[in-house]
Amino acid sequence: MSDLNDPRVFFAAERTLMAWNRTGLTLMAFGFVIERFDLFVT
């Protein structure tokens, strides 16, 4: 495994984590919008 003491590796890992967080929050917000406005009417 790469050493996190290297700033390039550390910041790359941080960017990846932030991208996953952003993706998760976007999906959660999209789910709330679908639920709030009943976009999937069955």
Look at residue 21 in the predicted model and tell me its pLDDT: 99
- pLDDT tens digits, 1-42: 668 899 999 999 999 999 999 999 999 999 999 888 887 665
Unique residue bearing structure tokens 């050493």: 3
Look at residue 38 in the predicted model and tell me its pLDDT: 81
Look at residue 13 in the predicted model and tell me its pLDDT: 94
Kindly give, in sequence order, each residue whose CB lies less than 8 Å from that of residue 34, ignoring residues fewer than 6 positions away. Answer: 40
Terminal CA-CA length for the chain: 49
For the chain, the domain total comes to 1
For residue 4, give its domain range.
Answer: 1-41
Look at residue 32 in the predicted model and tell me its pLDDT: 93
Number of helices and strands (H, E) in the chain?
1, 0
